Amino acid sequence: MRTEDQIKRKRNELVVQLKSAEAELVNLLQSNPESEGKIDRLRSKTEQLESMVMMLEWVLNEPSGAYHN
């Protein structure tokens, strides 16, 4: 089991990667909109990173209460 600090560090690392991929995607769309393959790969990468960040946020803010126990 990972500690809360480890999860937070991983989340922060993924957020940095996500921002970098989003910036790269914006730059690519502005400079070379016809390179569809790379654009698709970057979109897929950003979606995957967003999912991973959301999962870690859920782990950090795990619901509590009788329904979830």
d(CA 53, CA 10): 9
pLDDT at 2: 85
For the cut 70, the answer to whether the pLDDT of residue 67 exceeds it is: no
pTM of the model: 0.83
pLDDT at 33: 82
pLDDT in tens, 3-57: 999 999 999 999 999 999 999 999 999 998 888 999 999 999 999 999 999 999 9
d(CA 14, CA 50): 8
d(CA 4, CA 60): 7
Q: What is 1-66 written as a DSSP string?
A: ---HHHHHHHHHHHHHHHHHHHHHHHHHHHH-TT-HHHHHHHHHHHHHHHHHHHHHHHHHT---SG
